[in-house]
Chains A and B, each alone.
Chain A
Amino acid sequence: MSFGLPASAEGGFEAPSAADFWQPLVGDGAFAITRASIVLLLSAAVISVVLLRVTRRLAVVPSRGQYLTEAVYGMVRNSVARDIIGSRDFLRYVPLLFTLFVLILANNLLGVVPPVQYPTMSRIGFPIALTLVVFALYHVVGIRKHGLVGYFKSFVPKGLPWVIVAFIYPLELITYFFTRPVTLALRLFGNMFAGHILLLLFILGGEYLVFEAGGLMTVAGALAFVMGFVLTLFEMLVEFLQAYVFVLLAAFYIAGALADEH
Chain B
Amino acid sequence: MDGNIAILGYGLSAIGPGIGVGLIFAAYINGAARQPEARGMLQQIAILGFALTEALAIFGLALAFVFR
Contacts and interface: CB of A to CB of B under 8 A. Distances in A.
A220 B36 CA distance: 43
B44 A248 contact: yes
Contacts of B51: 187, 245, 248-249
Interface string B37-59: 00010001001101110110111
A248 B48 contact: yes
B55 A183 contact: yes
Interface residues of A, number: 17
Contacts, number: 38
Interface stretch (A49-57, A148-156, A188-196): A188-196
Interface of A: 18, 79, 83, 183, 186-187, 189-191, 193-194, 241, 244-245, 248-249, 252
A183 to B, nearest CB: 4
Contacts of A248: 44, 47-48, 51
A187 B47 contact: no
Interface of B: 40, 44, 47-48, 50-52, 54-55, 57-59, 61-62, 65
Contacts of B62: 186, 189-190
9 contacts: A83-B44, A186-B59, A189-B62, A190-B62, A245-B47, A248-B44, A248-B47, A248-B48, A252-B48
Given A245-B47, A248-B48, A187 B54 contact: yes
Q: Which of A190, A194, A244, A248 has the most CB of B within 10 A?
A: A190
B44 A79 contact: yes
B48 A186 contact: no
Given A248-B44, A249-B48, A194 B54 contact: no
Contacts of A252: 48
A248 B48 CA distance: 7
Contacts of B58: 183, 186-187, 189-191
